[in-house]
């Protein structure tokens, strides 16, 4: 069977519900790391990035692929499993790639004063995801939590735009964590 036709949820109703719940929990509890499963996307995507795409995108949600993620295998997999249109960075609702490939983050939609929800969510593939590094505070965090981030300055600048700005899902292997725009990020 073609690799494009495989790698989606085997039991879509149950697995997508579990995955969606994990993504909701991650956004509600910034910095906490959640395991996810069910997707087997083509390289170079991680399981977590594949799960995020399967749950969050469809034929009405434009996706931008950056760097190594913008390859024929990934484009075909997304076309078959979600039907999401692939677009330039400025038009994307979701963008996927490494932090270096997605930079500068300022090029993505940040919403409008009347419609702050019209912003992009960045799905950032990272090589390491741990509760160490930058200090996070804000809504959904009881006191503070640490999270390994690819950098802090862009996330601090993003927080300064609140309620505008982008939201971020960090993915590594079969784990993910979220960093909503409302989260305060401090260097340690």
- Residue linked to tokens 């190594």: 68
* 109-147 core/surface letters (b: 16 or more CB in 10 A; e: else): bbbeeeeeeebbbbbbbbeebeeebbbbbbebbeeebeb
Q: What is the pLDDT of residue 6?
A: 78
| CA-to-CA dists, residue 69 to 74, 96, 100, 119, 122, angstroms | 7, 7, 12, 21, 13
Number of domains in the chain: 1
Q: What is the pLDDT of residue 4?
A: 59
Is residue 132 included in any domain, yes or no? no
Q: What is the pLDDT of residue 7?
A: 82
Q: Judge if the upstream peptide bond of residue 6 is cis by omega within 30 degrees of 0.
A: no
Per-residue pLDDT band at 156 (split at 50, 70, 90)? very high
Q: Are 111 and 165 in contact (CB under 8 A)?
A: yes
Indicate the range of 2-6, 115-119, 175-179 predicted with least confidence.
Answer: 2-6
Per-residue pLDDT band at 10 (split at 50, 70, 90)? confident
On the question of pLDDT at 167 being above 90, the answer is: yes
On the question of pLDDT at 3 being above 60, the answer is: no
Query: Which whole number is the average pLDDT over 101-125?
Result: 96
Is residue 76 included in any domain, yes or no? yes
Q: Are 110 and 102 in contact (CB under 8 A)?
A: no
Give the chain's mean pLDDT.
Answer: 95
Residue 120 belongs to a domain with what CATH number?
Answer: 3.40.50.11310
168: how many CB neighbours lie within 10 A of its CB?
27
Q: Are 148 and 172 in contact (CB under 8 A)?
A: no
Per-residue pLDDT band at 2 (split at 50, 70, 90)? low
Is residue 89 included in any domain, yes or no? yes
Spatial distance between the Cα atoms of 6 and 176, rounded to a whole number of angstroms:
22
Is residue 73 included in any domain, yes or no? yes
**Domain that residue 60 falls in:** 3-126+166-178
Tokens representing residue 99 in the block: 């932090």
């Amino acid at each position: 069977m073609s690799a494009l036709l495989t790698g989606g949820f085997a039991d879509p109703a149950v697995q997508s519900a579990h995955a969606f719940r994990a993504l909701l929990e991650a956004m509600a509890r910034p910095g906490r790391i959640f395991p996810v499963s069910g997707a087997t996307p083509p390289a170079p995507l991680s399981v977590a990035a594949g799960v995020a795409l399967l749950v969050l995108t469809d034929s009405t949600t434009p996706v931008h692929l950056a760097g190594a993620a913008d390859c024929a295998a990934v484009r075909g997999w997304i076309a078959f499993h979600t039907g999401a249109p692939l677009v330039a960075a400025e038009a994307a609702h979701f963008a996927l790639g490494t932090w270096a490939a997605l930079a500068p983050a300022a090029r993505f939609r940040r919403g409008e004063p009347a419609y702050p929800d019209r912003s992009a969510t960045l799905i950032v593939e990272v090589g390491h995801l741990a509760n160490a590094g930058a200090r996070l505070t804000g809504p959904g965090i009881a006191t503070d939590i640490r999270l390994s981030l690819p950098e802090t300055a862009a996330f601090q600048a993003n927080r300064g735009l609140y309620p505008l700005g982008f939201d971020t899902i960090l993915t590594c292997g079969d784990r993910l964590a979220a960093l909503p725009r409302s989260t305060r990020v401090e260097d340690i």
